[in-house]
């Protein structure tokens, strides 16, 4: 395996991707993309992430590496898409044959296997197909009326004291006349949501605003999102923003999410900085309450990034609180298998550095790369006082992010 510096080459990373086997993790033009498959692990069951961590450590130990850069994302890299419930669903780990990275203006390429003998970027740069024809949408597991009924039942159980918060999601099915080119979707998502992480792993692609965990050396960081409001025009937009930062319901929902992350991360940290109040994160279609949490891992902690991800997932941002009760309510009311939606997605290198977001604002392409069908997902946090119709509107606003990438 060889990492080769490419200087300040500025070809947009997503433009390099081929049709088949594309993986990505890109924000503001920097990050990692890859293609080809040098190795792959699919794992499920109790201890799935521990098994994946051991597999990755063993693979790295057996790999001869030439890496003159030694920066996060150079050398061996595995892309991962973890099931929402790793004990039940299948998590996927892919080691690409070619990885192109960009960080701080420095670009590099890492090649492995047969790809190391080919000219750099030889297989990339095909023009994305922009014609998908007509789109047909259909309800997923639950139609809107039934889903609103599920929200109402969740509120009843919250009022009864069974739990404080639960995140309920719904899915939307879309069929196109022509194959869906994942590169086209990624390019449109990255253009519309530059402050999100545009990801693709094994047919699951999206643009997530939420960073579950980043590890650089022993420094840890996370961006927690919970509490959402739609955007408006001019004065209405300002009113909606002000209402969000003063909403008791949304602030409570956000606090549950921050507390669950901090509680899970604190045993591993020598220091942990948790701001006392959230900020506003403004995206083109919605606003979120946002809190950036930062910490330093204890020197006597041997936990790797996948161990930390396993410890903090699922947070209340995608499941609820308390976690066991919320998971039970999701299983009873949501009516669908989330698969890898709302699970950790990102990358890990041989040094233990990496980034994992949560697979939100995403779709699972069916029939492999270039298939003509996709399953879109969106969810929202349900707490005391949640209104089913308002929560349905929130899911529609979130689904619109991916629908715009399909329809533009």
**Which residues are annotated as catalytic?**
165, 210
Largest Cα span, the chain: 64
Neighbouring C-alpha atoms within 13 Å toward the C-beta of 396:
14
Residue 314's φ and ψ, nearest 5 degrees, are -90, 140
Q: Which residues face 43 on adjacent strands?
A: 91
- The answer for 217, left when phi > 0, alpha when psi is -120 to 50, beta otherwise, is left
Beta strands in 256-394 (DSSP E): 269-273, 279-282, 286-297, 320-321, 344-349, 354-358, 362-366, 373-383
Chain-centroid distance, C-alpha 166 = 19
Closest by CA to 199, choosing from 215, 212, 179, 185, is: 185
Distance CA 57, CA 215 (A): 16
Task: Compute the distance between CA of residue 260 and CA of residue 266 in angstroms, rounded to an integer.
Answer: 10
Rounded to whole angstroms, how far apart are CA atoms 399 and 51?
34
Kindly provide the b/e burial profile for residues 375-385, where b requires at least 16 CB atoms within 10 angstroms of the residue's own CB.
bbbbbbbbbee
């Amino acid at each position: 395996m060889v990492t080769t510096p490419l200087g300040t080459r500025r070809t947009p990373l997503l433009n390099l991707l081929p049709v088949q086997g594309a993986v990505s993790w890109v924000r503001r033009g920097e990050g990692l993309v890859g293609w080809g498959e040098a190795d792959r692990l699919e794992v499920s069951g109790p201890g799935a992430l521990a098994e994946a961590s051991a597999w990755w450590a063993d693979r790295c130990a057996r790999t001869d590496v030439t890496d003159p850069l030694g920066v996060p994302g150079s050398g061996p890299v595995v892309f991962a898409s973890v099931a929402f419930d790793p004990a039940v669903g299948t998590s996927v780990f892919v080691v690409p044959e070619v990885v192109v990275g960009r960080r701080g203006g420095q670009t590099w390429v890492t090649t492995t296997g047969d790809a190391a003998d080919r000219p750099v970027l030889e297989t990339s740069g095909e023009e994305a197909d922009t014609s998908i024809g007509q789109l047909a949408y259909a309800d997923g597991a639950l139609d809107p009326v039934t889903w609103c009924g599920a929200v109402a039942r969740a509120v009843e159980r919250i009022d009864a004291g069974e739990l404080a918060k639960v995140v309920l999601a719904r899915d939307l099915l879309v069929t196109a006349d022509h194959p869906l080119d994942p590169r086209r979707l990624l390019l449109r998502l990255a253009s519309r949501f530059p402050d999100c992480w545009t990801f693709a792993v094994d047919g699951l692609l999206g643009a997530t605003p939420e960073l579950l965990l980043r590890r650089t050396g022993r420094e840890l960081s996370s961006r927690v999102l919970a509490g959402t409001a739609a955007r408006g025009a001019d004065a209405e937009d300002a009113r909606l923003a002000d209402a969000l930062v003063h909403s008791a319901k949304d602030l409570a929902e956000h606090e549950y999410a921050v507390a669950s992350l901090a509680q899970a991360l604190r045993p591993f940290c020598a220091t942990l900085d948790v701001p006392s109040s959230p900020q506003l994160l403004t995206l083109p279609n919605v606003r979120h309450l946002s809190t950036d949490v930062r910490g330093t891992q204890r020197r006597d902690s041997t936990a790797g990034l996948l161990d930390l991800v396993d410890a903090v997932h699922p947070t209340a941002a995608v499941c609820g609180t308390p976690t066991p009760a919320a998971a039970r309510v999701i299983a009873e009311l949501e009516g669908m298998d989330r698969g890898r939606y709302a699970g950790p997605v990102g990358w890990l290198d041989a040094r233990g550095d990496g980034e994992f977001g949560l697979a939100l604002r995403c779709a699972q392409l069916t029939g492999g790369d270039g298939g003509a069908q996709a399953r879109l997902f969106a969810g929202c946090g349900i707490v005391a006082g949640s209104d089913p119709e308002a929560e349905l509107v929130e899911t529609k606003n979130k689904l619109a992010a991916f629908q715009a990438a399909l329809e533009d």
